[in-house]
A and B are shown apart, each in its own frame.
Chain A
Amino acid sequence: MQSKPKSFFDASWITPALGFSSLLIVVLTFVFTFTAQPDVQQGFLTRILPLHVPASWLAYLSFGMTAVYGLAYLITRRNHFDRLSASSAEIGVVFIVLSLFTGALWGRPTWGTYWQWDARMTTTLLMFMVYVGMLMVRGIIDDPARRARVSAVIGVVASVGVPINYMSVYWWNTLHQTPSLSVAAKHSSLANPGILIAFLLSLLGFTVLYIYLLRLRGQIALRVSDLESEEIEMQLGSMKVAQ
C-alpha cells in the first residue's frame, strides 16, 4: 500500500524545533526581565508583568482556540478537531493556573491581598473551574463520538467566558486594573524599555510554546485514540467469538 504523502505540517522536525525556539525565547525573556530597571512605584515587582500578562493572554488564546476547534468538530465531525480542542483546553488550564498564581503574588504587595472576590479574579477562577470540568467530563464518557460532541459543545459555550473576563474590569468596579496596554504611558510599567522588551518576548515565547504544546498534545491524543480504537475492536472481536 502506498503511504500517504506527508505535508509540511506533518514533518517530524517541526515539533522539536518549536520546543527549542520557545525555550530560547523564554530564556531571552528571563535575561531582559532580570536586567530591567526597577519601577518608581512598584520597584522590582514590575518584573512580574512580563509573566502574568502573557500567561493570561495565552489562556484566552487557548480557550478561544478550544471553541474554534470545537465548532470545527461539530460542523465536520472530524476527530482531528476534537483532539485539538481538548489539547488546547488542557494547555489553557496550565496557563490560567500560572496567571492566577502570579496574580496573587503580585496582588499581595501592591493591593495588600492575595485574593479579592472582584469581577476579574472571580471570572478567571470560574473559567479555570469550567475548563477543568470540561476535561473531567471527557474523562467519564467512554463513547468517543459522544465524548467529542459533549466536549465540543462545552468548549464553544464556555468560550463566552473569555470576553466577559476581558471586559470585567470595564463593566464592574474592580480592584484589578484595566488592561496593561490601556494604562496611560507615564503610569504604565511598559514605559520601562526593559520590561517592554521582556513583555513582547514573553508574548512571542509563550505563543510559540503554545503551538509546540498543542502539536505535542495533539500527537499524544492521536496515539491514545488509536489505542482506544484497537481496544474497542478487540472487545467487539471477543464478543463475536463468545456468541
Chain B
Amino acid sequence: MNPAEIAAAHKWDIFVYWSYGAAVLLLGGYAFYLIRLMRQLKKDTP
C-alpha cells in the first residue's frame, strides 16, 4: 500500500473526533443548561 492509499483510508478518521466532540457538546451542554436553570430557579424560588 502506498502512502497516498494509506492517507485515503484514514481521511475519514476525523469523524470519530467529530462524533465524540458532538456528544460532549450536546450532552454536556444540555446538562450544563439544566444545572444553570436549576440554580436560577433556586434563586428565584427560595
Contacts and interface: CB of A to CB of B under 8 A. Distances in A.
> Which applies to chain B's interface (DSSP): helix, strand, loop or mixed?
helix
Nearest to A223: B41
A217 B26 contact: no
B5 interface: no
Where chain A touches its partner, the secondary structure class is: helix
Q: Contact size class for B?
A: 20 to 34
Interface residues of A, number: 32
Interface stretch (A1-9, A78-86, A96-104, A177-185): A96-104
Interface string B9-35: 110110110111011001100110011
A48 interface: yes
A30 B20 contact: yes
8 contacts: A33-B20, A44-B13, A44-B16, A45-B15, A47-B16, A101-B26, A105-B19, A213-B30
Interface of A: 19, 30, 33, 43-45, 47-48, 51-52, 55, 91, 94, 97-98, 101-102, 105-106, 108-109, 209, 212-213, 216-217, 219-220, 223-224, 226-227
